[in-house]
Amino acid sequence: MFVNNLYFLFNSVLSLIINIDEETLFTFLGIKGPFSTSTEIIHMATPVTSDTFKYILQEYWTYYRHGLGFVDIENIALFILIIRFIFLSKKYNIRTGFLITLCGLGAGYLWYMHFRDLAFYYMRSLWMCPLTHNLASDFSEIHFQQVTEFQRIGNRADSDKFYGAAVRGFVDLTNDGKYRYDPLSLLWNYLPTDIKFLSDKIYYFVTLKAIPKFYAFFNSEMSALSGMLWYTFLVRINKRFVLI
């Protein structure tokens, strides 16, 4: 009897705290109401009716008829991972289910990055297809954010690469805040003076032409192929180590 009274009291308090009306439902689902305005905020308390659900379905159809976006794909993938973890935990145990789900998460992340690379290659084609219009719109925003981040002063173009930390560490190691030391020129001072003329030519050719051009070519190629390489070698070639 006490439990039933407590349950009734709890529901009564919740009903007083949370008022479920059309505006609350639209705000929770991220849908603009039919009478919403951007100039002023009008507080209305419209009850939920059958027309409310009809309007919600209409809004979802208006959005999803152009396909899924990146955020939608991420949400679906996370939902599948949660369901899979629950199923594997029930079938085996929590530890085994967690490890298998973690491996699947790694493989799914590599697939997702590979999918984003393909979207970058075929971005113009995505705009032409009605089912991939939202995907092209989301990718254009992501690409614009990345370009804006790379154009910031002091930002390195290789900061997001796997070798970016090693290059940044080497640069910081040779810089004391006031001067920048060149380890190659320090080694060049130990060469005999009779070959100084030839060694200086080699030094300036290596430091001013060979290394910058090679690094620019290597960085551009890795930017285009890094996702595909990770996906190919870790998921396809070594797929026996990744449980999908």
pTM: 0.48
- Token look-up 């640069």 returns 171
Residue 59 identity (one-letter amino acid): E
98-138 confidence digits (pLDDT tens): 888 888 887 777 777 777 777 777 777 777 777 777 777 77
Which tens digits make up the pLDDT trace of 153-172?
555 555 556 556 666 666 66
Contacts of 114 (CB under 8 A, 6+ apart): 227, 228, 230, 231
How much is the pLDDT for 25?
A: 64
**CA-to-CA distance for 58 and 56, rounded, in angstroms?**
5
Question: Average pLDDT of the chain?
Answer: 70
Give, in order, the Cα–Cα distances in Å from 234 to each of 110, 111, 186, 201, 243. Answer: 8, 10, 41, 43, 11
Residue 197, pLDDT above cutoff 70: yes
pLDDT of residue 63: 72
pLDDT, position 19: 60
Work out the percent of the chain whose per-residue pLDDT is above 90: 0
The reported pLDDT for the residue numbered 30 is 63
Helices and strands (DSSP H and E) totals, the chain: 11, 0
